[in-house]
Structure formats: C-alpha cells, structure tokens
Amino acid sequence: MKMKLLILAALLGLSFAQFDPHMKNGRTSMVHLFEWRWADIAAECERYLAPNGFGGVQISPPSESIVVTNPWHPWWQRYQPISYNLCSRSGNENELKDMITRCNNVGVNIYVDAVINHMCGSGGGAGTHSSCGSYFNANTKDFPSVPYSAWDFNDGKCNTGSGEIENYNDVNQVRNCRLVGLLDLALEKDYVRGKVADYMNKLIDMGVAGFRVDACKHMWPGDLSAVYGRLNNLNTKWFSSGSKPFIFQEVIDLGGEPIKASEYTGLGRVTEFKYGAKLGNVIRKWNGEKLSYLSNWGEGWGMMPTGKALAFVDNHDNQRGHGAGGASIVTFWDSRLYKMAVGLMLAHPYGVTRVMSSYRWTRNIVNGQDQNDWIGPPSNGDGSTKPVTINADSTCGNGWVCEHRWRQIKNMVIFRNVVNGQTLSNWWSNGGNQIAFSRGSRGFIVINNDDWALDATLNTGLPGGTYCDVISGQKEGSKCTGKQVQVGGDGRAYFKISNSEEDPFIAIHADSKL
C-alpha cells in the first residue's frame, strides 16, 4: 500500500509541476512572438519584455521544416517538420541557444511550440527543400535525419479510405489518421516516443522553461503522458532544482465533439479556446451578449478550471480564421475592441494569460474567408524573415504589429503582475455593457462598451489617493501622462467615460498611485 501511495505521489508531483509556468519576479503573462527571428527575440527580452514585466515568450517551432515556395514561404511550413535539427527561418541552433540564454539571464522564460504529432504532409515530395537542407522523402516516409521510416507512422491504424480524418466524431480517426495530409507519427511506439523526448530534452537542457504542444487532440493522452514522463527537469542554472517543464497543450474544444479538453487537463494546462470565442461575442455584442453577463466569467461559462487553463483572446491560427472561434475572434484588425478584450483578460484572474504579437498581411476576404490566410512573416525576396525594427515611438516597423508594445496592453500586463493573487471583488455593472471590478485592494478596472457615456461613482476597493490611469497614459515620476483618478478615503471614485473615446476604459493599480 505504501509503495502504491509513493507511486501516486510521484505521478501527482509530475503532473502538478507541469501546470506551473515558472515565471520569475512576480511576472504572470507570456507573449507569443509569432515568427520572430531568434536574434530579435533576444534583443526584445533585454530591451522591452524584462523591463515591462513580461514573464515569458512562446516561440515558433524551432525544428527543421519543409520549405514551401508555392504558396511563397507560408507561415504553416514551420508546422511540417522533417527532422528535429534546430534550424528554421528564425535562425540556427547557435542563435537559438544565444536567445534562450539572454532571455533567461533577464528573467524571461522561453516556451517552445513543439510539433510532435506529425511530420510534413504526404504530398511533400522528396529532396532537400528543407530549412537545414536535410534530405527527406515524404512519399516513402523516409526522414533519415531523425531517423523515421514507414514503420514509425500510423497509416496501418487509420480506418478511412483516404488515410485522412474524415469524421471528427470518430475518436480513432482523429488520433490515428492524417490531419490535413500530415504524416501521423505512431506515438505509441517506444522508439518514436524516445525520439520526441530526445528533441524536447535537448531544448530543456538548453534552458527552455516549457512547451506549447501542438495538435494534442490528435494524440492519445496516454502517449503524451509517456512522452512527458521522459522529460528532464529544467536547467538548474535558471530554475530551481527539480522543476518540471511547463506544459500547455493545444486542444480545440468548443463543445460538440467527443474529444474533450478535460482528457488532457491531468497532463498539463490546456489552451482554452472557448475564452476568445465567447469573449469575442460579448465584446462585439453579438447574439444579445453583454459585458454585465461576465460576473461569473471563467468556469461559470463552461470553461475548464482556472488552474488548468491557458487563456488568450486570439492566437496565430484563429486570427486568420483557422482553428476555432470563427468570426467572433477579436484581433489587431479591430484594434479598439481588441484593446478592451485584452485589457479585460489581463485584469481578470482566470488562467495563465498569453498575449499575441502579430505581423500584418494583405487580406483578401471572399465569402467570409481570407484567401491570403497563408501569408508568412514580413520577408525579403529570398524568403528570409525581415528583422523587427523599432520606431522612435516604440512601435514596430517592417510590417510587424507588436501588440505587446501597445501602451494599453503593456500596461495591463504590468497591472496583472501588481494584482497577482488578489481575488475579484467590488463587481459593478449597469446591467448592460458597462462593468467594473477590483482585484482585492490592488487594482481596479472600469469598461464602457455601451453606446452612451458611463457616469458613476464606484467603490474601487483601493486606498485613498491620486492614481494614474494606465490606459490613457501612465505614471512617470511624480505625474500622470494621461487621466488621473481621485480615490476618496472610503475607496470610492467618480468615473466618466465617453463612448466615443479611443479607449473607453480606465485602469488603476497600487503602483500607479502618485
């Protein structure tokens, strides 16, 4: 019995540790620097992310992938691995190592987007059109750089005529057949598990803090558990002894399919796709949804427990109409609504939060679908990724959007750090689209998404004094660059927010007090 309890304790310890993002210095949010080069991420950690309280970066897949020239270098080529060599359009292995080291040295963690469900598409052909120039043959399922051969794929277990997933209500198809033609790895094989774990362990030893695991719905939970069980502890140069890698798994579950996110929440955190889809409906005021309905936001809306969730407003897939959430997803293209949605997410205690950082592309919407959803990052004529340039006003150039540098979003990342651990309290609404709440006595946010002004005296829960609004400006020295909020000795303050303002919300916190 004692032995059974010890084994159970060890398993619980393993799984529990995988929910902790290991962020340092009271930091609470990560940013997805989608398609950034390693050299640019290293510089951004030092000059911006660490000074502004960001806890980590989700990076694009670092493994060797297929190189596609028709269409021209699409973003999704990086989700088609041909080996676990560490060279990609973001840079080579030395640049990756340098970036991980430099970010860790300023307390910013690196989370790797790990593509382990599949290799490249079955139509990928043969040759060396790959990011490191390695040979492969998708036709014969030959990937000598790993090596994988035809023995290492699931085709024999897929029971559809096409070899593709044809019915998402058939659990076996979803997990054993090819997702959009991608060659599906047989992760129940000890050899394949070993190769995947070796790849992830090499990154752990280099100093990464964890992984966003791609396409988890298409892998059996037992196979993932076996892989995670083989992972090394984090590098003790930057993490405390015995720390397990943070795991957050991409499982698209909006309800209506047999595979549930809850099948994976025992293994690590899971990406909560309902979060952005439902918040988008509320912020857009679709289907009669109102901000006032958010008083029980989170689990009360059918989402997974906060301790299991990775929360986000949009991600690299659904901002292009892929993935999940459809037209309700709010993105940088709707910047006014987007700042409100991200501000609300960062003020609310639910989940571990991820902020998106994007690049622009030329959209071509036909029947609601963007025909240019494939376009890769800003690039030179040879397909190489352009550097992220920083303008004098702190915005980005070269086609990079850098939402994480927008003052309103950056300041709410800081807000979340300041209020960390405080409960949601002092909830107020007008019954429509005006709401306010505090995080204990450390922070307060007021949002007006109605078509008329908000004019109210509200209980902020904060100590009396003069506070700088961190949306219209911020505290600099002994003054506010934006609005000031006067909180009385009773914790109450008067707010007036016009519906026509650029940013119809106000946020104050303990560190923005004069």
Can you list the positions of beta strands (E) in 80-224? 109-114, 118-121, 126-127, 136-137, 182-184, 210-213
Q: Give the whole-angstrom CA distance, residue 121 versus residue 78.
A: 12
What would the two tokens of residue 262 be?
């809850």
166 catalytically annotated: no
Q: Give the whole-angstrom CA distance, residue 469 versus residue 244.
A: 38
- What is the arrangement of strands in the sheet containing 465-468, beginning at the earlier edge strand? 454-459, 492-497, 484-487, 465-468
214 catalytically annotated: yes
Which residue in 64, 152, 250, 503 is the catalytic one?
Answer: 250
Cβ-proximal residues to 143 (8 Å cutoff; 6+ apart), any chain: 82, 83, 119, 136, 149
Place of tokens 């960062």: 346
What would the two tokens of residue 317 be?
């897939």
CA atoms within 13 A on the CB side of 314: 30
**In terms of Cα–Cα distance, which of 220, 22, 245 is closest to 112?**
245
Contact 436, 447 (CB under 8 A): yes
Contact 340, 449 (CB under 8 A): yes
Handedness of CA 273, 403, 388, 362 (dihedral sign): positive
Cβ-proximal residues to 224 (8 Å cutoff; 6+ apart), any chain: 187, 213, 216, 249, 264, 267
Packing angle, helices 221-228 and 190-206, rounded to 10: 50
What would the two tokens of residue 32 be?
């997805």
Strands 369-370, 365-366: pairing is antiparallel
Which residue in 20, 64, 184, 214 is the catalytic one?
Answer: 214
**427: three-class secondary structure by DSSP:** strand
394-399 CB contacts, 8 Å cutoff, 24+ apart: 399/359, 399/360
**472: three-class secondary structure by DSSP:** coil
| CB-count burial class (<10 Å; 0-12, 13-18, 19+) for 151 | exposed
Residues with active-site annotation? 214, 250
